[in-house]
Structure 1
């Protein structure tokens, strides 16, 4: 047992049913309503004592000072000597960084205005090429918010597997396609291979000035110019904006173009609203802290290795994938920010799916399996279609019923196979609607929750060196051959390429 978590681990284990029985106001004590969003943490095992223990740890870990450094634009990424200025992209941060971010947004809007006025010809399709945060963020936004936009047909391609591009090529007309290439360094191997193949596709179709159809989204404009994209179609963003935090920056260009600037601006304001809540609200009422408190209670006290996220709304179906990168790339570390070994669990493994599909697939394990898995449900009061209201009513009833069933369970002494142990935790986040402002606030909530987790864990959430080793080995295979690798790897390479 780590001394860091001693106070938390010493607390008694009280069942959820008993927690409700002992506190008639539990829903109010462990919930919050913000504009557009309602949070219910009451079906978790959080108690006043657990929050007090975590608040004391927050004081010891310097969470308040870390929060101030984050918004002041000071260094919070010590391994790379950088600030993390994603909040400045939505207007919350030090004045100079906010000013620069607004200038870059103005540049992006000017290019969007020019495209809409026909400066690049008639555009019907947008092909966005990126990987990681350069693709997951735009993909989430376009899928969640762009279904009824009716402006452009959008495809997001991240996989270097040629099948992904070939599918888009079969559907898009090259003469009416705009291509955005997103890479922070503009050296990302997978992205540039896909970009070159797309350029070949345009050239083979005899598109006039094929490079003129490309827009670059990057923190390294010089590399984009070297690649052949004119500087008037390069949208820079700050080096201090990490990939998984970058959808608010120029990386959001395909979403801003597809949704319209008014929607993108509302997205930014929704996120800024959550920034202000996180920055100004005491921990006990701070939903970002409460969300992190749930995470830390189950990873540190109950030793839960995973957390599951289920979106009971088709429009949010990509959110679990987005959160996988945000949470596991940020907090999947084994050393502290000082470089010392971590002697307690770091981030849980994030996974999930879409309701009600998941009920018929993975909920068997959640209800009756031997693993304790904290569950997070997301739903919207407002349906995403104008079909018979029975669709949305059934969807919401299923969402709420699952949380109730996980908590209460059902005894069946005569037939153990049909018994449900219950006492299984869940959080529910209810949106007024899946609209730009609410989605912006929701994503910013998860960002700040991840940050709180990191500070209390004592780790740096803003680097990601774990993704580099495989890339280095891939490059060495291309340049040096296979002789230096283990027999298994050598045999696989020979089998695949012989």
Structure 2
């Protein structure tokens, strides 16, 4: 990948000058000047997902300069490098090939002269076979009861992705009940174990290294709980415990038999792992056929990202527009508002995908950056957010670019619920963009009587109701939330994040910041177990630890 300081590029300098010219132009003025604005700034993915980015503070020149910036960074070549298995995760000396996991119909994908598609297909077949046995009730627990519950034990990418997908695809779910244990807090384990019958429950331990402290602590607790059940022997674990990992040796040592080991590989990042054996819980929930459609949707978006010219490339354009706000308007957050209750965890999932990927402060030249990198991602399902934080979007002092996502067809046709939901979706994106001026309020109320107890005139009153608008949004209209469209949507955001990482000149696929807290926690744990007072750290940390020890 091209290693440049983005702020030193010709395109960045042009964008700076361009920004000074248009920073105060209102979105409503942009629409008034161009009746074809929607047509110019919208794209359609296979007639299943319409992306409207016309309600942004951009012009054709903005897009031109942003695309020039992408070209200065050789973005097209960087995309090919990822798909080709080049070692683009430089700090960990790894390729980044989660895209290969969903290209399971391709006959040959080579990495270091090894056809990795063979092992990918073997794992997919194993997922297909096992999920079929559990769903059909052929697989039984140690007492002969068929499986009713599945507990996924993992954290981060081993939890957020599968949990989000399973909940998002609830209408496709079968009879099995799903539970997720992630938090190190023992309460999380206990509360899940209260809900299940051990005799009819299987446990999926999901950890790439099989050493993650939170996951392995929770897994050991569950294992010990299982072994304390009446008439249970160690061999009975083979009916209930399964591992999703790359560390076969640690899996066997834990007590899980080789046949229950579902491997994935070092070139799969945790936050991109739901496409791998980490997605076993997804296949168990919606069946292998639907799981394969999830992969197919992502694969088709991969092909779009890889083969579509930059000026029509959905993830590229959205990534560039995101950079436009964070580095020229100096926004710090992005809202993700999904108008579908099943997808209530989508924003939470994107938090990790984006913030763990691009939350970096050192560039690929080992220099501290002087530009904005990863944005803070947050969100809440519509219409809940409308009755809490939307007030700040409409009348606050923050500029917050937002993504609005909605299916046009609902899975639950109850009266006119969905029609009303759609009306709010369209109304909010329009209101945020166009707002309502003081003149509008005065004109609407010119012939109406007005109370004068606290305000001398209408202007003094209506000033409080003015919504300035000019808040940028992208609208995503999905035909329906299906395994295919969800797969495509997830891959779209993955590639948007990759695009931004390339141009921000950072490494998006490591997460060294996560490791610091882990290493210190191990050290603190040994101190907590000792009887001596802590004197090793700063006065605050020492005092907090010692206060706990005295308590």
Query: TM-score scaled to structure 1, two decimals?
Result: 0.97
Counterpart check, 1:128 vs 2:152:
yes
Counterpart check, 1:152 vs 2:176:
yes
Secondary structure of the 2:366 match is coil
Q: CA deviation at 1:147?
A: 4.4
Cα distance per residue 1:302-358 (max 9 Å; x no partner):
000111101110011000000000000000100112311111000111111111000
Instruction: Write the mapping of 1:415-426 to structure 2, written as runs, cut at 5 A.
Output: 415-426=462-473
Distance 1:147 1:191 in 2: 29
Cα distance per residue 1:212-244 (max 9 Å; x no partner):
211100011111111110010000001100000
Cα distance per residue 1:236-280 (max 9 Å; x no partner):
001100000000000000111111001100000000010010011
Q: CA deviation at 1:40?
A: 0.7
Counterpart check, 1:197 vs 2:213:
no
Q: 2:31 aligns with which of 16, 20, 30?
A: 20
Q: Report the equivalent of 2:483.
A: 436
- Say whether the 8 Å CA contact 1:71–1:94 is kept in structure 2: no
Distance 1:62 1:272 in 2: 23
Q: 2:211 aligns with which of 187, 193, 213?
A: 187
Q: CA deviation at 1:420?
A: 0.8
Q: CA deviation at 1:112?
A: 2.2
Q: Report the equivalent of 2:516.
A: 469
Counterpart check, 1:223 vs 2:235:
no
Q: Report the equivalent of 1:495.
A: 547
Cα distance per residue 1:264-305 (max 9 Å; x no partner):
000000000100100110111110011102201101110001
Q: CA deviation at 1:113?
A: 3.1
Q: 1:211 aligns with which of 237, 242, 258?
A: 237
Distance 1:476 1:221 in 2: 27
Q: Report the equivalent of 1:37.
A: 49
Say which is worse superposed, 70-79 or 141-150, in terms of deviation. 141-150
Q: 1:2 aligns with which of 3, 7, 15?
A: 7
Distance 2:306 2:263 in 1: 27
Distance 1:347 1:8 in 2: 19
The number of aligned residues is: 497
Counterpart check, 1:400 vs 2:390:
no
Distance 2:472 2:120 in 1: 40
Q: Report the equivalent of 2:138.
A: 118
Q: Report the equivalent of 2:353.
A: 326
- Say whether the 8 Å CA contact 1:377–1:426 is kept in structure 2: yes
Distance 1:477 1:120 in 2: 42
Q: 1:46 aligns with which of 58, 61, 67?
A: 58
The runs of 5 or more residues in structure 2 that have no matched partner are: 1-5, 439-458, 529-533
- Say whether the 8 Å CA contact 2:127–2:288 is kept in structure 1: no
Cα distance per residue 1:87-115 (max 9 Å; x no partner):
00001793523333222212222232343
Cα distance per residue 1:187-231 (max 9 Å; x no partner):
000001111111122223334544221110001111111111001
Instruction: Write the mapping of 1:24-423 to structure 2, written as runs, cut at 5 A.
Output: 24-35=35-46, 36-91=48-103, 94-95=109-110, 96-115=115-134, 116=136, 118-121=138-141, 122-206=146-230, 207=232, 209-212=235-238, 213-388=240-415, 390-412=416-438, 413-414=459-460, 415-423=462-470
Q: CA deviation at 1:174?
A: 0.8
- Say whether the 8 Å CA contact 2:140–2:200 is kept in structure 1: no
Query: TM-score scaled to structure 2, two decimals?
Result: 0.88
Q: CA deviation at 1:20?
A: 1.1
- Say whether the 8 Å CA contact 1:184–1:217 is kept in structure 2: yes
Secondary structure of the 1:328 match is helix
Cα distance per residue 1:359-409 (max 9 Å; x no partner):
111011111111100011010011131322x11111111111111000111
Secondary structure of the 2:244 match is strand
Q: CA deviation at 1:120?
A: 3.9
Distance 1:279 1:424 in 2: 31
Counterpart check, 1:455 vs 2:502:
yes
- Say whether the 8 Å CA contact 1:199–1:210 is kept in structure 2: no
- Say whether the 8 Å CA contact 2:170–2:342 is kept in structure 1: no
Secondary structure of the 2:210 match is coil
Distance 1:128 1:362 in 2: 33
| Alpha-carbon RMSD | 1.6
- Say whether the 8 Å CA contact 1:89–1:101 is kept in structure 2: yes
Secondary structure of the 2:90 match is coil
The runs of 5 or more residues in structure 1 that have no matched partner are: none
Q: CA deviation at 1:49?
A: 1.0
Q: CA deviation at 1:480?
A: 4.2
Secondary structure of the 1:2 match is helix
Cα distance per residue 1:157-178 (max 9 Å; x no partner):
1111111122211111111000
